[in-house]
Chains A and B, each alone.
Chain A
Amino acid sequence: MFKELSILAVVVAFSLLTYWLVEPFAHSQMHAHIETKHFKYTDLPAITKTGNAVAGKELVMGAGACTGCHSIETAGMPAMMPAVDAAASYGVNPPDLSTAGALYDANFLVAMIKNPAHATNLDHKYPADGSKMHPMVAFYGAGGDMDQEVADMVAYLQSIAPKAEEVTPKVAFENACGRCHSMRYKNWTPIGEKGKFKYKKDELRFDASVLDYQDYVVKYMGKLPPDLSMYYRSRGEHFLETFIEDPQSHLKGTAMPRVGVTAESAEKVVEYLRDAADPKHAEREETGKNVMIYMIFFVLFAFLWKKEIWKKLH
């Protein structure tokens, strides 16, 4: 008995050593480790003024010109044109702003309004000499105190947004990532959810629109943003979190913007990605427990059987 256990210890020790070398150790050597900064966006200046939502509404709908490009469905401002046409004009469909106040960090929103290229960490793509401009025009002030005006607009966006905890993972994903990325395991295309079609013709038309849209996005971004259906499994939670927080940290020079979501929204986006790639995780836990209980009994009975048989042999 003691001898068998010592042999087992040797086998287990060598197996664990090999496992440690090819898994945790090798991966730590292959991928740079990036720490999350908890979605604080400390590189952006903190908001200093207290915003006035009423004044903000005037600006968003008027001088700020936001609704010239963005829809705000909850405020009764529908999209001006179909997604494909918007992409033809701007490279990508400007997202609906109904939930922006809840999804995005307030300091980030301020920075986004003042200088979208800088806020999204894309200064390398839009050089200071102005040779190439971000499709979202920066806000240069409506004649008053610009910091106050921007704070007002942010206050307005926050006032119409649902409470952060009411934003579902699906909405978080669709609003923050869905204008660029598709997610076929959730029937999501960058021009919206792909429903059921009665006629093949209509389905083909829809598919063609998606392709048209993607052509514009490729022209804008330089490459097609990948379908994110399986990214939870191919990249893992930690990568996704840190990548959403700042894509440049993993892919230096990438065209994907820093989207500026809050920690809570990022968590929801990741949850949705998990739901697409690994929807059976709860069932796996459950089944796993039951199988283990069964296996413990198997071990027990196997042990008793062995003891019984070997009584006559020892």
Chain B
Amino acid sequence: MAHFTKATSVKDWLNQRLAIEKVEKVMASEYWIPKNINFLWAMGMVLAITFGLLLVSGIFLLMYYQPNVETAFDSVNYTIMQEVGYGWLWRHVHAVAASVVFLIIYIHMLTGIYYGSYKKGREMIWISGMLLFVAFSAEAFSGYMLPWGQMSYWAGMVITNLFSAGSLELNGVVEWIRGDYVPGQAFLTRFFMLHVLLVPLAILALIGVHFAALRIPHVNNQDGEDIDFDVEAKKYLAGDTKGSKVIRFANDFMSKDMFVVSIFLVFFFYLVFWNYGFAMDPVNFDPADGLKTPAHIYPEWYFLWSYEILRPFSKDVGLIAFAFAQVIFVLLPFLDRSPNVKTANKRGLFGIWFWLLVIDMIVLTAMGKLPPQGIYSTIGFVAAIGFIGLWVILPFITAIEKKV
């Protein structure tokens, strides 16, 4: 049994029971981060903070929201937005954070790709990150159902329809997911459950896994340098903080993180108060009406690129392409055959591949929103083929990549 002595202070008391000093070292002061990183490495912290904002604002919304098809719309647009003190603020924070979190996730992912932070021991960081992306997508979609507006209803209809798997016509599966033939009360209640309980639990667990996955390989750095963390940490602790290649997570890295977070929050609150339209689609301010299809049905901006991979093809081909787009990013660490951990720009063909991917996804995003007519559907088709093509050639161009 452990040996306990009379505590000399509260800290000592806690220390004997929880080893808080040790924990503090492991998690903060002796969690070593490379010095050679830029503000893009603060995106993880920005994501954590944004998730915190979503959680807190969500708890406030939950106190007045009513998951009932008759009252959901008014509970949001009247009770919360008009009657509850600062209810509008919580709603705007929640809606804008839900949209902005994806902007930051995309930046965070592309940072990982650009700097090669998904290989040589960092595979699990990448995979857990992609699982977070999937969980956030489920969270965003289920949340979008809750105000029970026109877009909630029709996006719910269109997306759940995908599960009929095209020509397989698995309508039973679709009904099973909806709990009804069309979206209705059963549908709303279960998406409410997913949004406020099951998916957030999964996200919390996945964030835990993601952070744990970072411990052993440590985060990458701007030059992909393989740092000997033990040696560099000793140097730092011996007093050579200027010469050491590593810094403490807290407060060294943290102070920079917080500065980036503060700039991000200025941008975030600007959106919350003055430019929230992109995150709160006007069409969703019309109450759900199963008899009236909106003129244009489109998902939120962050799903547009994968939606556009679905759209330009025939039903079955589109579904296969869509499924491909959903899973392909997870496989990145294994499709990239090159051992180089370097910035994309120093990796020859891979550098071109990276920028083509970014541009292709932006084109897909734009075409996903535009009406699928004329030149737009042609561009969308080409971009969708391009997306698939890029992933097909990735193993080949990385296999012939020179060691740098």
On A, residues with C-beta under 8 Å from B are 3-4, 7-8, 11, 14-15, 17-19, 21-23, 25-26, 29-30, 184-185, 229-231, 233-236, 277, 279-280, 283-285, 287-288, 291-292, 295-296, 298-299, 302-303, 305-306, 308-310, 312-314
Contact = CB atoms under 8 A, between A and B. Distances in A.
The prevalent SS among residues of A at the interface is helix
Contacts of B252: 309-310, 313
Nearest to A7: B38
B218 interface: no
Contacts of B263: 299
A230 B77 contact: yes
B131 to A, nearest CB: 24
A126 to B, nearest CB: 26
Contacts of A277: 77, 285
B262 A29 contact: no
Contacts of B295: 30
Given A14-B358, A26-B366, A309-B252, A19 B262 contact: no
Most buried by B among A3, A18, A280, A299: A18
Nearest to A284: B273
Contacts of B88: 280, 283-284
A3 B38 contact: yes
Contacts of A302: 255, 258-259, 261-262
Interface in B71-85: 74, 77-78, 81-82
A7 B107 CA distance: 11
Interface string B365-382: 110011100001000000
Given A21-B369, A230-B77, A306-B255, 13 more contacts: A29-B370, A185-B77, A230-B286, A233-B77, A233-B282, A235-B282, A280-B88, A284-B88, A287-B86, A303-B259, A306-B256, A313-B35, A313-B241
B145 interface: no
A151 B89 CA distance: 52
Contacts of B107: 11, 15
Given A233-B282, A288-B273, A313-B35, A280 B255 contact: no
A30 B297 CA distance: 11
A285 B273 contact: yes
Contacts of B280: 233
Given A7-B38, A230-B77, A285-B273, A22 B256 contact: no
Contacts of A236: 282
B278 A288 contact: no
28 contacts: A3-B38, A4-B39, A14-B362, A15-B103, A18-B365, A21-B362, A22-B278, A22-B301, A22-B365, A23-B278, A29-B376, A30-B370, A230-B286, A231-B285, A233-B280, A233-B285, A234-B282, A277-B77, A285-B273, A287-B89, A291-B269, A292-B270, A295-B266, A305-B251, A305-B259, A309-B251, A310-B256, A313-B247
